[in-house]
Amino acid sequence: MTHSRQAIRALLDGIGTAPRRGLGQNFVADPNTVRRIARLAGVGPGDRVVEIGAGLGSLTLALAETGAQVTAVEVDPRIADVLRDVMSGTPVTVIEADAMTLDWSTVLGGDDHWTLVANLPYNIATPLVCDLLDAVPAIDRLLVMVQREVAERFVADPGSKQYGAVSVKIAYWATARLVGIVPPSVFVPRPNVESALVEIVRRKPPATDPTALFSLVRTAFGQRRKMLRRSLAERVSSEQFAAAAIAPEARPEQLDVGAWCRLTEVVSS
């Protein structure tokens, strides 16, 4: 069983509160949507799932129905109390915490092969996904619902308008694909934008040092309209561009992750 729109409003009325915009609280109020997400997650008995921004438990209930071991994280104390009540009698573990400052090693218990499934608050989606890819290898697959514009940046190819530093970071650590669009009508309250579902699956990253790579990428995309010979003038010489087989007249969005790795290797050598 999952929450209907009426159930969401009743739960909120029961604690005399309303969704908080500052916490990005848009609760999914459509059983078909959360079951679709659980199905796309492909999890079941024996799988370990962590959900961020669990809210009132609409998606949590759908994930629990699969038989997976679910750990649900919620930052709002009032909502977390309701979530505990909703999950009473289920094997779901509820943690009241801020996902941006969470001690992931404690939450994941040293186990490998976790799947993250979440309706991420728009205000933390990009930094959180980047932090998890950088620092939490135990989460080897993510299925996240984010603002459609953010999703398009996550999966963008080189040369596109959406391609940026976050696209390079995700491509370094993983493969990403857009797997669905979610209309505003399924949320309470209704947002002003479409959402999208993105699947991110870890892969073996290139041997290039990620700290050096991402530093170079951030510098270049900080002035994305400029040619690389200008935006990276203080960091890359013409000889180094030539050694990496990269045209200094190129702009940052024209380089795929392989090219960025070549350039980083040359500059770091």
Q: What is the pLDDT of residues 187-218, one digit of tens each?
A: 988 888 999 999 999 999 999 999 999 999 99
- Dist CA 262 CA 147 (whole Å): 32
How far apart are alpha carbons 39 and 201 in whole angstroms? 16
CB 260 within 8 A of CB 168: yes
Are 76 and 21 spatial neighbours (Cβ–Cβ below 8 Å)?
no
pLDDT above 90 covers what percent of the chain?
Answer: 84
Q: Supply φ then ψ for residue 61, to 5 degrees.
A: -65, -40
Residue 73 predicted with pLDDT over 70:
yes
Residue 201: CB atoms within 10 Å = 14
Return the amino acid letter for 224: R
pTM, full prediction: 0.94
Q: Which residue reads 């459509």 in tokens?
A: 30
What topology is assigned to 210-268 in CATH?
Helicase, Ruva Protein; domain 3 (1.10.8)
Sign of CA dihedral 43, 84, 181, 221: negative
Determine contact, residues 23/121, Cβ cutoff 8 Å: yes
Quick one: pLDDT at residue 6?
80
Q: Which residue intervals of the chain bear CATH 3.40.50.150? A: 5-202
- Who's near 222: CB < 8 A, 6+ residues apart? 231
Fold classification of 5-202 (topology level) = Rossmann fold (3.40.50)
Tell me: pLDDT of 5 over 80. no
pLDDT confidence bin for 1, thresholds 50/70/90 = low
The enclosing H or E element of 35 equals: helix 31-41
- Quick one: pLDDT at residue 25? 77
pLDDT digits (tens, 9 = 90+) for 84-115: 999 999 999 999 999 999 999 999 988 889 99
Region 20-28: mean pLDDT is 78
21 against 144, higher pLDDT: 144
pLDDT at 53 over 90: yes
Give the chain's mean pLDDT.
Answer: 94
The ranges of the chain annotated as CATH 1.10.8.100 are 210-268
Percent of the chain with pLDDT over 70: 100
Strand residue runs (E) in 156-194: 174-182, 187-188
The model's pLDDT over 128-157, given as tens digits with 9 standing for 90+, comes to: 999 999 999 999 999 999 999 999 999 999
